[in-house]
Amino acid sequence: MPHLHDAKIKELELIANKLRQHVIEMVAEAKSGHQGGPLGMADVFAVLYFHILHHDPKNPEWEERDRLILSNGHICPVRYAAMAEAGYFPIKELMTLRKFSSRLQGHPERMRLPGTETTSGPLGSGLGQAVGLAYAARMDKKDWRTYCLTSDGEHEAGLHWEAVLFAGKNKLDNLVCVVDRNHIQIDGDTEQIMPLEPLREKYEAFNWHVIECNGNDIRDVALAFDTAKTIHEKPICIIAHTIPGRGVSYMENNYLWHSQPFKPGQAEQAIEELRVIEQKLKAEHQI
């Protein structure tokens, strides 16, 4: 595991900002797609693809790779951006998002794009798939780990909690479920639509080890994932508290930017704000 020294933190912060820029450019080009969740989860994806995951972009089917399941498949623009930056496919291909015959559809499709483990779409189903992978790894005595990214909104689905029960009962300590706790879904705040709290205590009641972190702080995110690797006899839930639309002033904490087309000038404003942040990061880090 790479040591997370200050230089690595700086590198990951810049990568996360680059992922956010890609998200804006991709969705603007497609004229449809999701912005809020992908922008909020950029730091998590930067840490996963460039610090935590055992993977090989040149050999996506490497048997010993860690498995990453994206249950909330609608935030796939940020996953595509991370994969491109990591070398799975050319960065220019990001501009084909949601186009006919593209490998980069509005939800990941396993048979189209090497490096995606499942085809996602129906919210609530990803953790069940991840549990199956983690259980299979145990049966085969494999060391690879399974990471499942979920939205907080999909915790309204009963299927998700069936998987929580199974993982807790079987003590799947090679499984990490990441909850994007941004409090938004398509119609508003989760706590007004279908309250989820006390979320931590619910997972703990089902025999999970819970770690909470600031999902928009690289060091805190990395520490959460590193800590997860030290836990035994329990599956791990990382509740990542994120700001939807992170980095773009008019999107932050606005549920309407769960997904909507850009109006003229909005994408350009978003890119400009992110580039200002990028320049500030470079100045702080003397790059």
What does the angle CA 194 – CA 196 – CA 198 come to, to the nearest 5 degrees?
145
Query: What pLDDT was estimated at residue 140?
Result: 98
Which residues have a Cβ under 8 Å from the Cβ of 274 and sit 6 or more positions away? 17, 20, 21, 24, 247, 248
Taking phi first (over 0 means left), then psi (-120 to 50 degrees means alpha), and beta for anything else, what does residue 234 get? Answer: beta
Please indicate, yes or no, whether the overall pTM of this predicted structure exceeds 0.85. Answer: yes
Provide DSSP, 96-128. Answer: GTT-TT-S--SS--TTTSTT--S---STT-HHH
Residue 9, C-beta contacts closer than 8 angstroms, at least 6 positions apart:
218, 219, 222
Sign of the Cα torsion 89, 215, 268, 257 reads positive
CB atoms within 10 A of CB 257: 22
- pLDDT 10s per residue in the chain (287 long)? 455 788 899 999 999 999 999 999 999 999 999 999 999 999 999 999 999 999 999 999 999 999 999 999 999 999 999 999 999 999 999 999 999 999 999 999 999 999 999 998 789 999 999 999 999 999 999 999 999 999 999 999 999 999 999 999 999 999 999 999 999 998 999 999 999 999 999 999 999 999 999 999 999 999 999 999 999 999 999 999 999 999 999 999 999 999 999 999 999 999 999 999 999 999 987 76
User: Residue 114, preceding bond cis, omega within 30 degrees?
Assistant: no
Residue identified by tokens 């609608």 is 74
The pLDDT, as a whole number, for residue 235 is 98
Q: What's the CATH code, domain 6-284?
A: 3.40.50.970
